[in-house]
């Protein structure tokens, strides 16, 4: 979007913010692939542990019909506040 910072400018700041944490994401492999694609141009490497709620749901609730974020949230009586469909 015009006038907004680029990923090359924002990624180092996000890495500094999250460097000593566990990253948590739904379908984390998808998101991590985008970060990996930027390793070369930015020199930023996310090598901390990653918890994937999609995979966790599949292991913990193997008989659940769907492992979509909304379905997982409903199953545990939670309401996700942000969803970037």
Residues 6+ apart with CB under 8 A from 44: 11, 12, 15, 35, 38
**Distance in angstroms (rounded) separating the CA atoms of residues 28 and 13:** 20
pLDDT at 85: 55
Provide the 8-state DSSP code for 79: -
pLDDT at 84 over 90: no
- What's the whole-model pTM score? 0.77
User: What is the rounded average pLDDT of the residues 23-27?
Assistant: 94
User: What is the rounded average pLDDT of the residues 7-30?
Assistant: 94
């Amino acid at each position: 979007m015009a006038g907004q910072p680029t990923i090359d400018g924002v990624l180092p700041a996000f890495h500094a913010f999250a460097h000593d944490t566990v990253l948590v994401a739904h379908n984390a492999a998808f998101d991590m692939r985008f970060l990996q694609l930027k390793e070369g141009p930015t020199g930023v490497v996310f090598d901390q542990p990653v918890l994937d709620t999609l995979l966790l749901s599949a292991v913990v609730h193997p008989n659940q019909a769907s492992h979509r974020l909304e379905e997982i949230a409903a199953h545990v009586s939670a309401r996700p506040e942000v969803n970037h469909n």
